[in-house]
A = this chain, B = another copy of it.
């Protein structure tokens, strides 16, 4: 594909195209947000000790409980979600604890390092990165091993666009006495999620994926069982950035933050959660399903191959598809961005260069965003020599809006 990328606006007469005046961010997160969220960020910052801010923070953790579907604690760690994921291992894992890491993709594979970093003995059960974790295999491992203390699983493997059967895995964990850590980063807000009913111990989600917010915090639910484990340790992490206990003993227990909070981030999160609860959690889930259906239909109609092995395990927050033979993933993305004003995502880690991902997360889980992403994709594929009958992808997506 010898097309060299030139700035769209500067090329010669015959091929002049207007430079995009606006960017639509329709990838795997962060994504475009509703103006009520972005304008909330612009409110005058309060001091984190201001009673008015503390009330807003309290409401935010309460709304999070409704979203996680829990009556136990929620914690908003101030950092990227990976901080929350690491904090879960830092809290739950004691040296030589047997830890089972379930791997169906790049993010799952990464969790092993958290277990290892805090002294765990790591077992791994894996499947190919376009598949979902097999519950029966896991059950067999748990039965055989006998004393697994902590299990980790990714609910929605954002890099692959697949989902894992968390509900069933939580049942297994309960039955075998293991604590379960769930990476719900891109599932919360888009997929059914029942922290208490399913019996999860620590779940970590992101504001900037399907909840419609902006990055900056790790949203966590923590079970009483998890707190018990942490507190029962002789020397759990305290006064460390990675410490969950600092939040339990500080804010939850004592009304004191461990350090200065990111007030604008919390104000934005408060607004995003308010909007979500106004819409209704169920409506939002249906909305993600609806747009995911559209997007997959559009991708398939273009002759592209969905990445997940089966449609049943395809995530509803992101549509991953294989890069067509002969094309370069980065070139496609760059063209879509520079020439057509749409940013989608590529592959991560081992999947780099192999797939592309269109997001339908949070605010962006709307039919018109899928239309824009598909239109830009059609154009970019065409520009790079892939045969496209213009409109066929968008058309299939539009058709999928009928039941």
**Chain A residues within 8 Å of B, Cβ to Cβ:** 9, 14-25, 27, 29-35, 38-39, 41-52, 78-83, 86, 113, 117, 206, 208, 214-216, 239-242, 258-265, 268, 279, 283, 286-287, 290-291, 334, 337-338, 340-343, 345-346, 363, 365-368, 371-372, 375-376, 378-379, 382, 389-396, 398-399, 401-403
Chain B residues near A81 (CB-CB < 8 A): 259-260
Please name all residues of chain B whose beta carbon is closer than 8 Å to the beta carbon of A376 when the two chains form the complex: 368
CB contact under 8 A between A342 and B366, given known A390-B396, A394-B394: no
Known: A263-B215, A391-B398, A395-B391. A291 touches B41 (CB 8 A): no
CA distance A208 to B264 in the complex (A): 11
Distance in Å from the Cβ of A232 to the closest Cβ of chain B?
A: 21
Known: A78-B79, A79-B83, A242-B241. Contact between A32 and B44, CB under 8 A? yes
Cα-based distance from A49 to B26 in the complex (angstroms): 12
Which chain B residue lies CB-closest to A284? B18
Chain B positions within 8 Å of A47 at CB level: 25, 27, 29-31, 343, 345
Minimum C-beta distance from A360 to chain B (A)? 11
Q: Which residues of B contact A206 (CB under 8 A)?
A: 260
Q: Which residues of B contact A396 (CB under 8 A)?
A: 390-391
- The residue of chain B having its C-beta at the shortest distance from the C-beta of A45 within the complex is B30
Find out whether the CB atom of B367 lies under 8 angstroms from the CB atom of A18. Answer: yes
| A393, B375: Cα distance in complex, Å | 12
State whether B42 touches A38 (Cβ < 8 A): yes
> How many angstroms between the C-alpha atoms of A111 and B299 in the bound complex?
51
- Give complex CA distance A82, B260 in Å: 9
Identify A260's interface contact among B117, B215, B382, CB under 8 A: B215
Please determine whether B25 and A50 come into contact, CB atoms closer than 8 angstroms. Answer: yes
* Closest chain B residue, CB of each to CB of A25: B47
Which of B35, B49, B83 contacts A43, CB < 8 Å? Answer: B35
A and B contact pairs by CB, cutoff 8 A, 27 listed: A15-B403, A16-B286, A17-B401, A18-B367, A21-B279, A22-B44, A22-B363, A22-B368, A23-B50, A25-B44, A25-B46, A30-B263, A35-B42, A38-B41, A38-B44, A38-B264, A81-B259, A81-B260, A113-B239, A216-B216, A216-B265, A341-B367, A371-B375, A390-B399, A391-B392, A391-B395, A392-B395
A399 to B392, CA, bound (A): 12
Q: Are B394 and A395 in contact (CB under 8 A)?
A: yes
A294 to chain B, nearest CB (A): 10
Picked from B16, B240, B264, the residue with its CB within 8 Å of the CB of A264 is: B264
Q: Distance in Å from the Cβ of A151 to the closest Cβ of chain B?
A: 21
Docked-complex contact B366 and A375, CB < 8 angstroms:
no
Docked pose: A379 CA to B18 CA in angstroms: 27
A-B pairs, 7 with minimum CB distance: A391-B395, A391-B391, A390-B395, A18-B287, A41-B41, A390-B398, A216-B262
Among A35, A241, A343, max chain B CB count under 10 A is at A241
Residues in B with CB closer than 8 Å to A334 are 51
Given contacts A260-B81, A265-B265, contact A50 B368 (CB under 8 A): no
In the complex, A79 Cα to B259 Cα: how many Å?
10
Q: Find A35's partner among B34, B44, B291 (CB 8 Å cutoff).
A: B44
- Other CB < 8 Å A-B pairs besides A22-B35, A46-B343, 4 of them? A18-B287, A22-B34, A32-B45, A391-B398
Contact flag A208-B16 (CB < 8 Å), given A32-B45, A86-B240: no
> Which of A78, A366, A391 has most B Cβ within 10 Å?
A391
CB-CB under 8 A for A363 and B268, given A345-B47, A372-B372, A389-B395? no
